[in-house]
Homo-oligomer: A and B are copies of this chain.
Amino acid sequence: MTELTVLNGAAIEGLLTIPMAVEAVEQAYVEKSKGDAALWPMVFHEFDPGHADLDIKSGNLDGLGFYGLKVVSWFGANPDKGLPALYGTSLLFDLSTGAPKALLNAGPITDFRTGAAGAIGAKYLARPDAKTLLMAGTGALAPYLIAATLYLLPQLETVYVANPHHPAQSAAACAAIVPQVEKLLAPCGGCHAEILPAPDLETAAKHSQVILTATPARQPFLKAEWVQPGTHISCVGADMSGKQEVDGALFASAQVFGDDTAQCLSVGECEVPYKTGVFSGNICEIGQVITGAAAGRAADSDITIFDSTGIALQDIATAAALLQAAQKTGQGQTVTL
């Protein structure tokens, strides 16, 4: 019998902040780059292709003393039943004994850690004089990506929000996103940028020095000729073979960074350009840039791309931070297993 902390969605939303998520995800990337962490093989199963699938991501994060897993199940028909399409469930284990330590609702963790990932890419790769951000995608991740990026790049003045596939919906989506961003940034200085619906994707892309993409696109929507020299792009949407958001031609001359090289080349934004031969496959892992083991942006005029496919270590690090915060404040429910 061992004691385990249960952190449900409400508890996590009460505990987790943008700075916590950013710190945890940076730590995960750094541990990976130092070789003190490992990703284990991903389990992927399609119950009904295109309608219901699942993945299990797992790994160990030695520096934090934990290993863990996250099960993400997607059932496309759930919303018709009044249920969420996605369920995320995480287990955290003590690396020194193997004892289970926490069960967590991975839904809000995924939102925060994915937002942090895109923002960390921008922090280390965007030009320091970047003033304008384009958020391409208006789904659940958009507020987290915007908030984390504004937190890490306080010099940003303007954010354009675009729904690349339904431009007419950008304004309504933006209106819904603004209060969410404000709420996320309230504990860390508030929101000092203006968040506006993109006039149109092309114009917004041409005027932005940082672009974040987070859609389930299978056809690129961001054209190479719209992307100005010196732009940084964090690609978050592609996490499965066949997904692609950004014109593959950009990879021919961009500096390309990623969270995990193998995963980027097999299921990330890099996949299609790599498999079609446009991209050499030369990816620098972001952890190397954070530690200084590798250089980031080489020239002001370079286009940089960060392919954030999402790795188990982000979830484990964030879950570990949450467990610590819960223990300090006495939150969460303790169960004996």
CB <8 Å contact, B99 and A335: no
A219 proximal to B (CB < 8 A): no
| B54, B56, B67, B335: the one within 8 Å of A6 (CB) | B335
| B41, B78, B87: the one within 8 Å of A100 (CB) | B87
A170 proximal to B (CB < 8 A): no
One of A89-97, A122-130, A151-159, A177-185 contacting the partner = A89-97
* Chain B residue at smallest Cβ distance from A89: B100
One digit per residue, 1 when the CB lies within 8 angstroms of any chain B CB and 0 when it does not, for chain A 309-337 equals 00000000000000000000000010111
A139 to chain B, nearest CB (A): 18
Query: What B residues does A6 contact at CB under 8 A?
Result: 6, 335, 337
One digit per residue, 1 when the CB lies within 8 angstroms of any chain B CB and 0 when it does not, for chain A 1-34 equals 1100010111000000000000000000000000
A171 proximal to B (CB < 8 A): no
CB <8 Å contact, B75 and A98: yes
Number of interface residues of A (CB under 8 A): 43
A67 to chain B, nearest CB (A): 7
- Contact flag A60-B87 (CB < 8 Å), given A1-B8, A81-B97, A335-B333: no
A107 to chain B, nearest CB (A): 9
| B54, B96, B103, B105: the one within 8 Å of A98 (CB) | B54
Query: What B residues does A45 contact at CB under 8 A?
Result: 38, 40, 60, 67
A91 to B86, CA, bound (A): 16
Query: What B residues does A2 contact at CB under 8 A?
Result: 87
* Chain B residue at smallest Cβ distance from A83: B97
A173 to chain B, nearest CB (A): 25
A42 to B333, CA, bound (A): 31
A193 to chain B, nearest CB (A): 32
CB <8 Å contact, A52 and B83: no
* Cβ contacts A to B, 25 pairs, < 8 Å: A1-B8, A1-B9, A1-B105, A2-B87, A8-B337, A9-B337, A40-B45, A41-B41, A43-B58, A54-B67, A54-B98, A69-B69, A69-B71, A73-B93, A74-B98, A75-B97, A75-B98, A86-B98, A87-B93, A89-B93, A89-B100, A103-B103, A103-B337, A333-B335, A335-B335
Across the A-B interface, the 7 shortest Cβ-Cβ residue pairs? A73-B98, A75-B98, A87-B98, A89-B100, A8-B337, A105-B337, A40-B43
